[in-house]
Amino acid sequence: MKYMCKKHRNWLVEHPTELLPSFRKTRMAGRAAMARLSWDHAVLYYGNALEMSEIMLIQKPGQRTQQRYVDTAIEMMHALRNSAQASSSHFLFSHVLDRLEQEAEHLFTVESLAVLRKVAFGSKEKANARLEQQPSQLQPASGYLH
């Protein structure tokens, strides 16, 4: 998975204080794209956000970072399944599991992996309904940039 350009990735690695704000803005942009049903744009934003959360896994490992990674993957999977790239959902699921296996200690919730699996492989209609029931997770915040 490569969504972020090398220059942007290197800049974020060199400026770790900008990583979390950039992640939040990009994730909010993904949520805004989903709210507009602009699925392909949402996938691009979430792809960038997921890569940023992978950098955070390296720079600041821990439960919050792992859970942020899984939650971002769930939202990206939701966008992916509704986009023109829906066939890539299996790859994303494998990628997320492979990345999480690299963590020395697994601190994310098992329930969140179950949600990711259901969003990846279950009925798209059921996944959409489930995620729409969690409006706080998918509502765009005002003031996002990108």
Domain map (residue ranges) of the chain: 18-134
Q: What is the pLDDT of residue 134?
A: 62
Average pLDDT rounded to a whole number, residues 53-73: 92
For the chain, the average pLDDT equals 85
Structure tokens at 110: 């098992």
Structure tokens at 117: 């699996």
**Range scoring the smallest mean pLDDT among 9-13, 38-42, 96-100, 142-146:** 142-146
Closest CA relative to residue 33, chosen from 71, 75, 86, 93: 75
Residues sharing a CB contact under 8 Å with residue 130, sequence separation 6 or more, in sequence order: 115, 118, 119
Establish how many alpha carbons lie within 13 A of residue 55's alpha carbon, considering only the half-sphere containing its beta carbon: 23
* SS3 category, 37: coil
Please check the confidence at residue 42 and state whether its pLDDT lies above 90: yes
Q: How far apart are the first and last CA of the chain?
A: 20
* Assigned CATH topology for domain 18-134: 1.25.40
Q: What is the largest CA-CA distance in the chain?
A: 41
Please check the confidence at residue 73 and state whether its pLDDT lies above 70: yes
Report the distance separating Cα 3 and Cα 86, nearest Å: 16
State the pTM of this model.
Answer: 0.81
Report the distance separating Cα 137 and Cα 44, nearest Å: 18
pLDDT band at 103 (very low <50, low <70, confident <90, very high): confident
Amino acid type, 81: R
Q: What is the pLDDT of residue 140?
A: 43
Average pLDDT rounded to a whole number, residues 10-31: 95
Which pLDDT tens digit goes with each residue over 74-86?
Answer: 999 999 999 998 8
